[in-house]
Structure 1
Amino acid sequence: MKTWIGASLFSSALVGCASAQMPDAELTEAKSAVRAAEAVGVENAPQARLHLKMASNQIEEARRHVEDGNEAKARNALERAQYDAELALSLAQAQRTLDELKEAKKEIAELQERLQGDNQP
């Protein structure tokens, strides 16, 4: 009887370890955040590119943790991936805003030069 219970517990533990699955909700959120950052464009924002790469690496790390049977570590990696992707998105948006501001300042300066040139006799 003790042998049967011990064997049953052991096999249950093995099945529990082997059946770790990728946390679907966290994976979906992380991938959505990555796609959002990619859609905004990170080519002009080096820090955004870095955090987007980190997010992708965290998703791959989560896959490895699932393969190793560690769902908790997979969830943590996916949470970090989501945060990195959201930071990448914010950094990319900030860079885009700065670029637009620089362009607007340039246009204002050009208009001011034209106006000053038109006002001179």
Structure 2
Amino acid sequence: MKANRGRDTKPELALRSAVHALGLRYRVDQRPIPRLRRRADLVFATAKVAVFSDGCYWHGCPDHHRPSKKNSEFWSEKIQTNQARDRETNRILIDEGWIAIRVWEHEAPGPAAERIAKVVRARSG
């Protein structure tokens, strides 16, 4: 478990690089809302856009998640808890006027960055 990074993962770094290349600037690993005890991977405070780079295993990707064969009950519950927290985070952000964008680790960084840029620019305009 120590080897699993909380930030600066390869997919997250690739996404940040692609977003930066499009000319967008952002905060890294920050709480979008101070009272919210959750951090977004990229935060565009002015546009009120929070981006989360979700790992396929940890967040239960419908395309790539494969249940663990060892200690499966524990891991199944862990993934379900993560998914519930993600839904709650999205709801809280929406209630506060934010948009939450979730990018799966398997998504190509370029198209994901374009999707993020479109939303940020529309809300900054």
Q: TM-score, normalised by structure 2?
A: 0.31
- Over alpha carbons, which structure has the higher Rg? 1
The structure in which a higher percent of residues are strand is 2
| TM-score normalised by structure 1 residue count | 0.31
